[in-house]
Amino acid sequence: MSTTSARLAVAGAALVVGLAACGSSGGSPSAPSAAGGGGGAGGATAPARPPHTTLDVLVTNDDGVGSAGIDAVARALAALPNTAVHIVAPAANQSDTGGKTTVGDVSHDETTTASGLKATEVSGFPADAVAVALNDLGLEPDLVVSGINEGQTLGPVVDLSGTVGAARAAATRGIPALAASEGLGDTYNYAPAVTQVLNWVAAHRAALLASPSAGTPAVANLNIPNCFAGGSVRGLRELASEPKDTVPPTVLVAQTCRSTASPADEIGAFNAGFATLTSVPASPKG
């Protein structure tokens, strides 16, 4: 059995990242408002503030602060003009923990990422990391980026994903959030995924810097195929999130970036080499 097959056989679920347009979980995502508004009654209300020019980004994940994916995306975001990046993430791998939170105190300490970026490690789940950033460290991000996760986080597994769980923890506080994941593979080159994240940030930067409005943002869930076997990412498809996989094994399979197929569904498009962007609700469906 190849390394990829072995990983796919044992992978219980994937991971992710997210803000995009608000809207129902079954609809295609659209450009978000400043706060991704569109939440119903009871949604969090972000405080009004004057316009500003520096985009403040909180970067977190579920693979742990020492993972290659978070290092790659945080370094790229920090290199953008007028962008401040803060990294707060679990001290250890917390994949497949969804939106779990710790009962009781959670500790945090200063650390660095794989390449030496200043970071804070949290002794808890991904959602705990967001809480520490907002409550204990007093950060006020314009955007939370969760990822880049190792392994796809497509619709059927979003509720299991700690990557999405962290993004949802931000969204329920009224903060736009993007969950980002790269597909499973024998090797990982995060450059194509980083490019997709930067493209998303560039497209939404003006809205993110505008004064927030009332509402609970949805989570933008971005999945980028892993083209380790050849080919390249074939483009971005904005699609409806799939609540279930009609053929369960297709959720966590290797992608075919040299495919010429053009499926119209999230899982099919991703497996055929397209990056997919969907909108998922800030809270799991009961």
Q: Which amino acid is at 240?
A: A
CATH code for 3-23+49-231+240-280?
3.40.1210.10
Query: For residues 63 and 91, is the Cβ–Cβ distance under 8 A?
Result: no
**Rounded distance between C-alpha atoms, residue 285 and residue 267, angstroms:** 20
Q: Among 13, 12, 34, 44, which Cα is nearest to 282's?
A: 44
Task: Give pLDDT tens digits for 95-123.
Answer: 999 999 999 889 999 999 999 999 999 99
Question: What phi-psi label fits residue 105: left (phi over 0), alpha (psi between -120 and 50 degrees) or beta?
Answer: beta
Ranges of residues in the chain whose predicted pLDDT is under 70:
1-51, 211-215, 246-248, 286
Which 3 state secondary structure label does DSSP give 128? helix
pLDDT value at position 25? 34
pLDDT value at position 189? 96
pLDDT value at position 20? 35
In the sheet that 219-224 helps form, which strands lie side by side, from edge to edge? 108-112, 118-122, 83-90, 55-60, 143-150, 177-182, 219-224, 275-280, 236-238
pTM metric for this prediction: 0.82
Q: Which amino acid is at 68?
A: A
User: What torsion, rounded to 10 degrees, do the Cα atoms 101, 159, 173, 241 define?
Assistant: 170
Q: Among 63, 66, 74, which Cα is nearest to 163's?
A: 63
pLDDT value at position 48? 55
**Rounded distance between C-alpha atoms, residue 283 and residue 127, angstroms:** 12
**Rounded distance between C-alpha atoms, residue 131 and residue 166, angstroms:** 9
Domain boundaries, the chain: 3-23+49-231+240-280
CB-CB neighbours of 47 under 10 Å: 8
**Rounded distance between C-alpha atoms, residue 208 and residue 166, angstroms:** 18
